[in-house]
Every structure is written in structure tokens, then in C-alpha cells.
Amino acid sequence: QGINAEYGAKKKKKKKKKERKMFSRNLSKSRAKESDIELSTVSRPPLESVGTDRDDEILQTGTFQVAKEKHQKGGEFIKSMVFGGLDGIVTIFSVVASVAGARLQYGVVLIMGFSNLLADALAMGLGDYLSSKAEFEYITSEKAREAWEYDNYLEGERREMVEIFETRGLERADAAQMIQIFGKYKDLFLDLMMVSELGLMPPPEKDESAKDGIVTFFAFLFFGSIPLFSYLFSLISVPASTEAGFDTAFIIAILLSALSLFVLGSVKAKFTGQKWWKSGGVMLANGALAAGIAYGIGFALSELINSGK
């Protein structure tokens, strides 16, 4: 019994030490993030000039500090660019790897590579366009339905929103007061209903599905052509009938594809807040896994077919 008590005390002490270490690490990260925040001083009209009698310390303060917003610009099409580029490199390099593993001719690498490049780029671009279009139309129709309910059953919508906010921890009186105020402004109230009731972000003012599709198409086309560059330029010095394999052209294709995947992942990290090296590494590992499987299958099938001759 004494041994068990001693063991339990040591285990408890070790656990507390681990928790203190974790707390210290999280605190350091939090302070590091806080040190990157820039504060600016903002002046607002005092309470009396805005015509409200609320006793709110923030509203009564004429001058206060706010954190400067540092949101990244250009992130609206990052999904299409990343997915299009990633699929382009992985798909076409997998084709190249399978042909190299099977030791087919350079001409076959280029024929299969460029035919797949154009066909898959069109398929990816059209798929992204159609999916974005369907999502936009669905969200727009849901907002139109909520707008009809606002115009015809406003009181019912208010009660529904009060119940939703009650389930999230607000007192009924506070929720009712907030919804009563929000309900005066139709567009604002509709956006609130979309997010809180349906879990949908309000739709953009313009349908940009076509732009999503175009970005995906060109991203796939550009990044997907990178693994083919080395074979294309190799035709200057070697005939198209040259047997492919683990040769100079394939090694260059590996290096170019790996570099492109890592760069693409690093660019994605700029918009997602991830560490650039981690995001690039995940992209690189994804591509390496797919290409390795394709090379192995090409090599295995080639050996199997040749052994049967």
C-alpha cells in the first residue's frame, strides 16, 4: 500500500510538471502573437452626440485603441489556385512516373502527359465552376426564402432567433433585446439568420463561379506542365524513341515538381495562417506519395507483362 501511494504521488507530480510546461509553452506562443499586433488610436463622437442614453463605458470613451486589421488580400481564389495547381502537378507527375517506371519511350511520356494535362485541366475547371455555381444558387435561394419569411412572418423569425441565441447561453431578455434591434435592419437580420439558423455564410453580391473555374483551369495547366518540361527540352538532344527510366530527365522532373509543390504549399500558408514550411512539407509529401505509387505500379506492370512474353 505504501509503494502504491508513493508511485501515485510521483505520477501526480510528473503530471503537474507536464501541465506547467504546457502552460508555459502556450503562454509564450500567446505573447509572441500579441507582440505582432499593431495598435492604433481611434476617435469617435462622445456618447451625448450620438443620441443614446446607454451607460456603456466603451460608448462613453471618445478615444480608444483598436488592433489594426492585417487580413490577407487576394485569398478569395486561393482555394481554386491551390487545388488546381496541386492536382495538376500530382496528376501529371504521376503519369510521368508511371511511364518512367514502365521504361516506355520519351514520346509516350509527352503524348500521355500533354493529353492528360489538357483533358484534366478542362475537367477540373468545369467541375469547379459547376460546384461553385451550384453552391451560389443554393445559398441565394435560401436567402430569398428567409427574405420572404422576414416580410411575411417577422415576429415568428424573431422568436426563432431568440430561441437560437438562448441555446447559445444568452439570457432570454438579452437575446430578445438584441433581436428586436437587429430586426429593424432587414439585410443585417437576413445575414444573421443565414449564419445562426442555417450555418451558411451570406452569398457574395456577384456570382464569381466562372472566375473560380478559370483560375482552376489555368492553375492546373501551368503547374501540371512543369513535370513535362525536362522531357520536352530533352527532345533537343535525344530522339523521341529513347527509353525513359530513372534517368536525367526524370530526376529533373522530380526536382521541379518537388520545388513547385513546396512553393505552392508555402503560398497557401500565407492565406491560411499556417507555418510556411509545414504547409509546403504536407504538399510535398502528398505529391511524393502519389508519384511513388504510380512509379511502383508502372514498374510492376512492366515487369509482369515482359515476363509473360
State pLDDT tens for residues 118-135: 999 999 999 999 999 999
**pLDDT score recorded for residue 115:** 94
pLDDT tens digits for range 227-264: 999 888 888 777 777 777 778 889 999 999 999 999 98
Give the model confidence (pLDDT) of 183-225 as tens digits: 888 999 899 888 888 888 888 888 889 999 999 999 999 999 9
**Contact assessment for residue 261 and residue 85, using Cβ atoms and an 8 Å cutoff:** no
| Model confidence pTM above 0.85 | no
Q: How far is CA 241 from the centre of its chain?
A: 42
More confident residue, 293 or 66: 293
pLDDT (0 to 100) of residue 30: 47
Cell digits for 2? 505504501
For 164-223, the three-class secondary structure string (H helix, E strand, C coil) is HHHHCCCCHHHHHHHHHHHCCCHHHHHHHHHHHCCCCCCCCCCCCHHHHHHHHHHHHHHH
Query: What average pLDDT does the structure give for the chain?
Result: 80
**Cβ–Cβ under 8 Å, residues 230 and 249:** yes
User: Residue 46: pLDDT above 80?
Assistant: no
Q: How confident is the model at residue 10 (pLDDT cuts 50, 70, 90)?
A: low
Q: Residue 22: its pLDDT value, please?
A: 56
